[in-house]
Amino acid sequence: MGLHVAQMTGTEEIRQIYDTVTVNGARALGLTGYGIEVGCQADMVVLQAGDVHDAIRLRPARLFVIRGGKVIAKTAPVVSHLSIEGKDFSVDFLHPVVG
């Protein structure tokens, strides 16, 4: 909602907001060992999103919550089923599948 209220819905602005709640948020909190690199703490949330923009705009499912390199919570991917003109589609918002 804040993105829309502040009229920050451009491609670069969405990327900046994503960095604000990830990299810059960790920096502001003074967290050490943050990031996805060897030697880091491996605390992360894996979202069902194809890119940064979908992570912000879709309110995607949290597929995995990982702390200290161990999965502590997981959720099945959300799949929508569509039928258009006699053709059935399953869409998981990450990889569309025709079936």
DSSP 41-53: ---EEEES-SSHH
**Tell me, what DSSP letter sits at residue 30?**
T
The predicted-structure confidence for 5-62, as pLDDT tens digits, reads as follows 666 677 788 888 888 888 888 889 888 888 888 888 888 899 998 888 888 878 889 9
pTM, two decimal places = 0.71
Give me the residue spans of the domains in the chain: 2-98
Residues 11, 12, 16, CA angle at the centre, nearest 5°? Answer: 120
Contact status, residue 49 vs residue 92, Cβ threshold 8 Å: no
The predicted-structure confidence for 65-97, as pLDDT tens digits, reads as follows 999 889 999 999 888 888 889 998 887 766 544
CA dihedral 79, 47, 3, 30 (to 10 degrees): 170
Instruction: Please give the CATH architecture assigned to the domain spanning 2-98.
Output: Roll (2.30)
